[in-house]
Amino acid sequence: MKRALLALVVVVWVNLTGCMPLPTPPAAVTSAPTRARATFTPPPTLTPEAPAAAATPTPTPLEPPRYAEPAGCQPASLNQSAADRLAYAESLLTLETPLARRQLNQARNNLTGALVWTGQDVLAFSTGGVQNRYRIQDMLNALHVAGFAAWLRSDEQFGEHILAVRLAPDMLESAWAPYVSAFFQAGGVPEGETRILPALRLSPCRWMVQAGLAPDLPVGELEQVDWRQPDFAAAAEPFIASTTEQCSAVAHGIGWLDGRTEAPGLMCGPLTWAITNAAGAFPPGYGAWVNAPKTFWLPKPSENGRPWSLFDPETYVVRRFSEPTGSVDFSQYPLEAGDMVYTYSRQDGFDHLLVVTDCDADGNRFSVTNVVKVKPFELTTIQRVLLYAANDPGAGFYRNEWAKDRLNGRTGDGGFEVFRWAWRAKDISGQAAEIDVRPGDSLPLIAARWKTPPEQIAAANGLQPGDALRVGQRLVIPPNP
């Protein structure tokens, strides 16, 4: 990810952002839906055969706990009009531009091609101008607990928008039935609908299940929650490349442009995104980073805010250092697996972004990142590099290659920033965090956001798994042991 300009006699360096080395001299498909009533059939009850008298009884495995419905669900929602549900969703949000002012007059059923007026059964809201893209997930969650199947879509006529279909029995007899039934299928979309964007779907409220509008799913299953600690080292290993050709293939595979023209010297940001994504470390839910390595391309936090600004400020902390990486004492702020580090260059090198992938038993810190050389020959690789050694102040790329190599360029001499996930900071400090429950939150979803088992969160707050959460309720998130 270096960028250098070679001359025959004199090497002139230009300060670059984005880690780039200087070079050497579809149509939508629609179909008519079937207007049959969507039903959710429970599995048949099987009558087991009586065991033989001499048989040893098999212990019954413990069933996983049943967690309470998402916060904000209201039993009375079934009988509410779309307008009343919208007002309730609005009360759960704090938006600069309220939903009502974002409402579109029309919405298209992409299965039938029909354009309908909104207001009674179907609502639509523009998401244009939502600067903090992660707030779109808040909008979807509030509409869900208010009683809508809320889809995020994008098309030529309305741009990116939310389609909200009122959840009611009569909708299962309508042309909108596929939008209701597919909503509660993990990864499902209405057949023939090609404009859906990836966003988190919440477990159904109890009243939705009781009304026959949704299957009785365990809370957390539809969200596909995962609160395991990410393994960055394992996620990074498949990206290692020992030749420029292999490195180019990795860049094309990440594909932040078109899958053909990506330059391996410019891949520090997209590679960091790809490793973080493969490790499952991104927050659950929709945001600018979802399926978009380009959001990490050519970042510079001091100027464009990226990539830190892509995320909710409650999900991370940033530490800024004015000292060069080659002279800073990392024992005062050790880097940890999952940290993203952005290093600045002054006049003779390149800026760089990487993710710390692992720490060994001796306290040495490593990253899998791209390394660009232009002298004595051109070579771009993706290596597992030693950033610094805990017991050897003179070892590591931060002390040597990236601090002293004026031939291939330096980075970090202009200071650096460390981005750390809030869930990691909590565990490192050993101090509990406190949060306020958001609309749509459940113990499993909060557990996935904080990489902390839900039973630990429940115990720390004196809760049982099935206890309902309230919007605005303060919860303690304990550190992992």
Q: What is the pLDDT of residues 67-117, one digit of tens each?
A: 999 999 988 778 899 999 999 999 999 888 999 999 999 999 999 999 999
- Residue 208 and residue 147: Cα distance in Å, rounded? 8
What value does the mean pLDDT take over residues 358-373? Answer: 96
How far apart are the C-alpha atoms of 284 and 233, rounded to whole Å? 21
Question: Has residue 29 got a pLDDT over 90?
Answer: no
**Is residue 17 packed enough to be buried (19+ CB in 10 Å), middle (13-18) or exposed (0-12)?**
middle
Quote the percentage of the chain above a pLDDT of 70. Answer: 87
Does 424 score more than 80 pLDDT? yes
3-state secondary structure of 433: strand
CA dist., res. 64 & res. 443, Å (int): 13
Q: What is the mean pLDDT of residues 319-324?
A: 96
Q: What is the pLDDT of residue 17?
A: 46
* 198 closest CA partner among 265, 282, 88, 121: 282
In single-letter form, the type of residue at position 274 comes to: A
Under a CB-based contact definition with an 8 Å cutoff, are residues 28 and 109 in contact?
Answer: no
Q: Given pLDDT bands bounded at 50, 70 and 90, which one contains residue 46? A: very low
Q: Could you tell me the pLDDT band of residue 359, with boundaries at 50, 70 and 90?
A: very high
The string of DSSP letters for 94-106 reads: --SS-HHHHB-SE
**Cβ-contact 265, 241 below 8 angstroms:** no
Whose CA is closest to 456, among 440, 432, 477? 477
pLDDT tens per residue across span 250-285:
999 999 999 999 999 999 999 999 999 999 999 999
Closest CA to 300 of 11, 18, 91, 80: 18
The mean pLDDT of 291-317, rounded to a whole number, is 96
Residue 393: the pLDDT is 86
Has residue 59 got a pLDDT over 80? no
Q: How many CB atoms lie within 10 A of CB 139?
A: 26
The CA angle 386-242-381, to the nearest 5 degrees, is 65
The rounded distance, in Å, linking the Cα atoms of 277 and 469 is 29
pLDDT tops 90 at residue 58: no
Would the pLDDT of 438 be above 80? Answer: yes
Distances (CA, A) of 368 to 19, 235, 279: 15, 10, 13
Range in 30-44, 239-253, 364-378 the model is least confident about:
30-44
In the predicted structure, residue 154 carries a pLDDT above the cut 50: yes
User: Per mean pLDDT, which range of 63-77, 111-125, 362-376, 459-473 is the poorest?
Assistant: 63-77
Summarize the confidence of residues 363-383 as an average pLDDT: 94
pTM of this structure? 0.85
57 has a pLDDT exceeding 60: no
215: confidence class by pLDDT, cuts 50, 70, 90: very high
Query: What is the rounded average pLDDT of the residues 168-189?
Result: 92
Q: Read off the pLDDT of each residue in 435-458 and give the average, rounded to a whole number.
A: 97
State the maximum Cα–Cα separation within the chain, in Å, rounded to a whole number. 94
pLDDT band at 62 (very low <50, low <70, confident <90, very high): low
Q: Say if CB 346 and CB 413 are below 8 A apart.
A: yes
In a 10 Å sphere around its CB, with 0-12 CB exposed, 13-18 middle and 19+ buried, how is residue 130 labelled?
A: middle
Please give the mean pLDDT across all residues of the chain.
88
* Residues above pLDDT 90, as percent of the chain: 78
What's residue 142's pLDDT?
97
